Amino acid sequence: MNADFHRLKTGISQVVAKGFPAAFLLARKSCSHGAVPPCSFGIRAARWNIWRLRRDHAPAQRGGDIERGRRHSGFSCRAFSLIELLVVVALIALLATFAVPAVGSLNRSNAVTRAQQLIEQQLVSARQTALARNRRVEVRFYKFTEPGAIGNAQTFRAVQAFLIDENNKATPVGRMAKLPDSVLLNEVAANSSLLGLADKTWDASNDPQVSLPGVGTSYTAKAFQFRPDGSTGLTATNMWFVTIHSAINGATAATPPSNFATVQVDPVSGAVRSYRP
């Protein structure tokens, strides 16, 4: 028994010099066919020690074993091919084709909503000021050329309120409220009856034409007044309103587009209501 293990030890010690096959055969020869079971255990131990010694003394081969292990485990480092990248780019372009118009329509709709809320707030605030101050309050819709716009076309794009005292002197209640750049007021009388009123006239002493930011005095205006009791000076038998929509449809569109808003003023009570389809 001791002689068998001595031969095993000798075979293992020669693995580096003779390589795996020779050492393995030497280990196998160390046991006879009639050896006792401990010799079989010794062969398995010899195989393990041979593998460990080869691992420690052959780093290049160890790298190859790792790579083969990766292939057997299903792990892959393969990169994308050119065709795969082109397919992904094509899919992104296709999705953008559908997404961009939807985003643009949503932005225009939001701009119309903001303009509607702005005009409604200005009218409600003007009426409340007339009630609180027991004075007339005049609301003016300004028509001017948008700074930086191409061409000289004037459109209604802003609103402002003025307090009128007992001497008919006009004092601004607040700053001019300008609509978003992408929307305007439809100036066709059938769509915006408030813009069908006569142009505002100016009084050099009590009600001079004020200078607007970025516009100066190059503008015209339509105006109506809230009375101290909250009513208006408008004809009671008519309906008075303004229509708001995207600027891409033009200020003189005979029929409002599907995306529009209307702000209405009751001539008797002065109540302000909005309508959005």
CATH number of the domain to which 258 belongs: 3.55.40.10
Same domain, 247 and 162: yes
Output the pLDDT for position 35. 45
Please report which helix (H) or strand (E) contains residue 138, including its range.
strand 136-144
Q: Are 140 and 160 in contact (CB under 8 A)?
A: yes
Q: Sort 255 into a burial class: Cβ within 10 Å, 0-12 / 13-18 / 19+.
A: exposed
Tokens of 143: 């028509």
Instruction: Report which DSSP code applies to 40.
Output: H
Tokens 């948008």 found at: 146
Same domain, 131 and 29: no
Same domain, 59 and 168: no
Q: Quick check: is 100 in a domain? A: no
Q: Quick check: is 203 in a domain? A: yes
The domain tally of the chain equals 2
Residue 187 has pLDDT above 80, yes or no: yes
Q: Quick check: is 6 in a domain? A: yes
* Domain assignment of residue 234, given as a range: 111-275
Give the separation between CA 230 and CA 235, rounded to whole angstroms.
15
Same domain, 67 and 145: no
Output the pLDDT for position 108. 82
For the segment 190-213, what is each residue's pLDDT rounded down to a tens digit?
999 999 999 999 998 889 999 999
Same domain, 66 and 119: no
Domain boundary among 44, 73, 102: 73
Same domain, 58 and 179: no
Query: Looking at the chain, how many residues does it have?
Result: 277
Output the pLDDT for position 57. 59
- Among residues 81, 223, 218, 246, which one has the least CA distance to residue 152? 218
Q: Quick check: is 9 in a domain? A: yes
Mean of pLDDT values over 73-98: 76
Q: Quick check: is 79 in a domain? A: no
Residue 64 has pLDDT above 60, yes or no: no
Tokens of 25: 């055969």
Q: Quick check: is 237 in a domain? A: yes
Please report which helix (H) or strand (E) contains residue 49, including its range.
helix 37-57
**pLDDT above 70 as % of the chain:** 68
- The three-point CA angle 137-141-142 to 5° equals 130
Same domain, 65 and 118: no
Mean of pLDDT values over 18-22: 50
Give me Rg for the CA atoms of the chain: 45
pTM: 0.65
For the segment 104-155, what is each residue's pLDDT rounded down to a tens digit?
677 888 999 999 999 999 999 999 999 999 999 999 999 999 876 655 689 9
Same domain, 247 and 149: yes
Same domain, 121 and 230: yes
- 44-53, 60-69, 203-212, 233-242: least confidently modelled range: 60-69
Q: Quick check: is 105 in a domain? A: no
Output the pLDDT for position 37. 46
Q: Quick check: is 33 in a domain? A: yes
Q: Are 153 and 145 in contact (CB under 8 A)?
A: yes
Same domain, 156 and 233: yes
Same domain, 37 and 122: no
77: left (phi over 0), alpha (psi -120 to 50) or beta: alpha
- For residue 85, what pLDDT band results from cuts at 50, 70 and 90? confident
Same domain, 66 and 163: no
Output the pLDDT for position 218. 93
